[in-house]
Amino acid sequence: MATWTRIVALLLLWLPLVFSYSWTPISSDQSFPLPEVRSPDILPDPDDGAQAAFGNASSALDSRSLTSFVSDGSVQPWPIRGILRKRNRIRYCFATAEMKEKIGCRLSEAIALWDEALGGGAGKVSGHNLAFSEARFGGIPQLCFKDFYYTYWNGKRNKLVANDVLAVYLKDEASSGGVSSATAGYIPKERVSADQLRGFRHQLTIAENAPSAVIAHEIGHVMGLMHEHKRPDRDDFVDFRCKKLKGFGSAMITAHAKPENSDLTLEDIGHLLCTDRAFADQNQFEASQFIRITDNEDSHTEFDFDSIMMYGSGSFALDSCHENALDQCPLVKIKKENGVKVDEEYIHRSLRPSEGDAAFVKKYYPWNE
């Protein structure tokens, strides 16, 4: 009898530790007040603050057109986990308590934007199985690191938090350049290095002044969405002018000064900056955020200008770009009549996920009874 008593006592201690990871609906552990929405993605569009929040989305809602998921399994949808409530759960932790205090509210609001677009939390009615929850042990929220070293932007990992948890960081304007970023989709442990396994293989870095809409965009990447304006067929819908991106001139100078590029003409360098993602990144030029993806198309859907994953005309643009100076903007909408280009139009950033974005989630994270 004493043996059974000990077994029951151990189970009562063990069960809360197991279920503390897996019983949190999409928004139930988000206890922060909601802050104001300021402006969109990376470099704000001049007129986005006054833009209507939800416009007409794509009429082809079976899926998004682009996904980070690839056939070799290197990037996948987030897996189902949990014993009683089996959800495609994205668990996250904050790098430090200070970062949690500063950006927890905005992360909460960004998740709520997706929650609203999806028609609520995971369930039969909403049609999706996705959930977000802060990583916990014994019911207590856990930070990513026991000690964090800003000099190396890394730290001593909290061993109570699994390696596949999404690590959330805050960077000030000086170190981030106003740019937020995120890893795309779920990366299996077999696809990362030993060094990455010692830290966290999924990361969400939030710029200090990033509004909730920007964070919602980055969450889209975390779930597996790619940029709408990088679709293989994007040239039928938008006009991309690489040389109008902020930093093109300085990138040309940087690339030209490198000894390994001595055999390249200025024309060659300009072409590579605008067409080669690796070359653009090596020279700290943001064209890599715009260069078309030609090898990762999911399905043909209508181009979704209302997608949260769509950049606006003002993203990474020169200050001279505005609605009355479209020729100064790096990205503009093509207006056509009978299939012929007749005009151009300024693109405003969406402040929340579109119906097409929600359809992506419901396709890759369908409700699990």
Considering the entire predicted model, what is its pTM? 0.81
Q: Return the bridge partners of 128, or none.
A: 123, 366
| Whether residue 137 has pLDDT greater than 60 | yes
| Number of domains comprising the chain | 1
The answer to whether position 284 is within a domain reads no
Which of 6-15, 34-43, 149-158 is predicted most confidently?
149-158
Tokens representing 43 are 């470099």
Q: What is the pLDDT of residues 170-215, one digit of tens each?
A: 999 888 888 999 999 999 988 888 877 788 999 999 999 999 999 9
The answer to whether position 277 is within a domain reads no
| Domain span holding position 81 | 21-245+290-360
Q: What is the pLDDT of residue 310?
A: 97
Q: What is the pLDDT of residues 94-134, one digit of tens each?
A: 999 999 999 999 999 999 999 999 999 999 999 999 999 99
The answer to whether position 88 is within a domain reads yes
The answer to whether position 44 is within a domain reads yes
285 DSSP 8-state letter: -
The answer to whether position 26 is within a domain reads yes
Q: What is the pLDDT of residues 218-248, one digit of tens each?
A: 999 999 999 999 999 999 999 999 999 999 9
Rounded Cα–Cα distance for residues 242 and 107 (Å): 31
The answer to whether position 10 is within a domain reads no
Indicate the SS3 state at residue 133: strand
Q: Which helix (H) or strand (E) holds 104?
A: helix 97-117
Burial of 81-119, coded b for 16+ CB within 10 Å and e otherwise, reads bbeebebbbbbbbbbbeebbeebbbbbbbbbbbbbebbe
| Whether residue 299 has pLDDT greater than 60 | no
Average pLDDT over residues 53-59: 26
Q: What is the pLDDT of residue 313?
A: 97
The answer to whether position 150 is within a domain reads yes
Rounded Cα–Cα distance for residues 60 and 48 (Å): 25
The CATH number given to whatever domain includes residue 307 is 3.40.390.10
Q: Which of 31, 177, 186 is nearest to 107 (CA)?
A: 31
